[in-house]
Chains A and B, each alone.
Chain A
Amino acid sequence: NAGVMQNPRHLVRRRGQEARLRCSPMKGHSHVYWYRQLPEEGLKFMVYLQKENIIDESGMPKERFSAEFPKEGPSILRIQQVVRGDSAAYFCASSPPSQYSGNTIYFGEGSWLTVV
C-alpha cells in the first residue's frame, strides 16, 4: 500500500511564477491536509479538503494561494506569483473518512519550494 505521494519533491521558481504542488493520498483516504514548514520552524496548518470540498481553509493566505481536491486525480496546492517568502517545505497528509477521533494522519515526504 503506497503512502502519501507528493511531487515534485523539489521545485525552483523565479519570483512571479506559479508553483503547483501535487498530493495523492493513501489508498482509501479521502481527506487531505496541507501544511507549510518554513526553514527551522514548525508545521503550520494551511487547508483541509475532502473530495470536491474545502472543509477548513483557515490557515491559507488570503491571496495567491489556492487548493483543490477534485473527484479524480491528486490534490493540488497552487501558489501564484511566488515571492521569496513562499520558500518552504509543503507537506501533504491524508486520513481515512471516519468519525473516529483516533484516526492517524499520514504525511508525505514533502515538496521543497525554492523561490529565486
Chain B
Amino acid sequence: GDSVTQMEGPVTLSEEAFLTINCTYTATGYPSLFWYVQYPGEGLQLLLKATKADDKGSNKGFEATYRKETTSFHLEKGSVQVSDSAVYFCALLPGYSSASKIIFGSGTRLSIRP
C-alpha cells in the first residue's frame, strides 16, 4: 500500500544552519505531497504542497520539490531560526480515488539552538 518514510529525529541544528529533512514515498499513480508542521501543543499547519512531478512547494523560506524519479519530497531551508523548532510531517494524498485518506510519515522533531 501507499506509505511515507521520513528521516528519524530528533534533528538539532544551530541557528542559520542549512536544513534538510528527507522524505520518500511509495504510491500508486500520482499522489499529491505535503509537508505539515506542528508546534508544541498545537495542531497541524500546512507548510507547503506539490500536486505533480517537478512542482516545487515553498512557504516561509521552506522548499520541497516533487521528484517522481526518486519518489522523494525532501524539505529544505537555507537558514533556520529558533522559531522553526517543531515537528515536521511529510504526507501524501493518493491520486487514484477521491475516497482517499492522507497518509503521514512518522514525523521529524527539529530543535534549533540559538
Contact = CB atoms under 8 A, between A and B. Distances in A.
Interface in A67-89: none
Interface residues of A, number: 26
**Chain B, interface SS category:** loop
Contacts of A104: 32, 34, 46, 49
Contacts of B43: 6, 91, 107-110
A28 interface: no
Contact of A42 (B30, B31, B34, B107): B107
B86 to A, nearest CB: 14
Listed from nearest, the 9 A-B pairs whose CB atoms lie closest are A102-B51, A101-B95, A109-B43, A42-B106, A107-B44, A110-B43, A43-B104, A42-B107, A99-B98
Interface of A: 6, 33, 35, 41-43, 45, 48, 55-56, 91, 93, 97-110
